[in-house]
Amino acid sequence: MTGRKKSLRTELKRRLAEMSAGEIDRQSRIACEFLTQTDDFRNASTVMLFLSMPQEIDTTAVIESAWKAGKRVVVPRIDRKDRQMVAVEIHRLDHSPDPAISGLRNPTEGIETPVDQIDLIVAPGLAFDRRGNRLGRGGGYFDRFLADPRRKAAVVGFGFAFQVEDEVPTDPHDRPVDAIVTEQGVIACKKEHGGL
pLDDT, tens digit (0-9, with 9 covering 90-100), for 129-138: 999 999 988 7
The strand pair at 84-89 and 72-79 is best described as antiparallel
% the chain with pLDDT above 90: 69
The model's pLDDT over 147-177, given as tens digits with 9 standing for 90+, comes to 999 999 999 999 999 999 999 988 878 889 9
The answer to whether 139 and 182 are in contact (CB under 8 A) is: no
Average the pLDDT over 19-33 and give the result.
97
Distance CA 121, CA 171 (A): 21
pLDDT of residue 78: 83
Q: How far is CA 65 from the centre of its chain?
A: 16
On the question of pLDDT at 19 being above 80, the answer is yes
Domain edges within the chain: 2-193
The CATH architecture annotation of domain 2-193 reads 3-Layer(aba) Sandwich (3.40)
The answer to whether 129 and 166 are in contact (CB under 8 A) is: yes
DSSP string, 59-112: -HHHHHHHHHTT-EEEEEEEETTTTEEEEEE-S-S-PPEEGGGTTEE--S---E
50 or 105, which is more confident: 50
pLDDT of residue 171: 82
pLDDT of residue 98: 52
pLDDT of residue 193: 43
The model's pLDDT over 80-119, given as tens digits with 9 standing for 90+, comes to 777 788 999 999 887 554 544 555 666 777 889 999 999 9
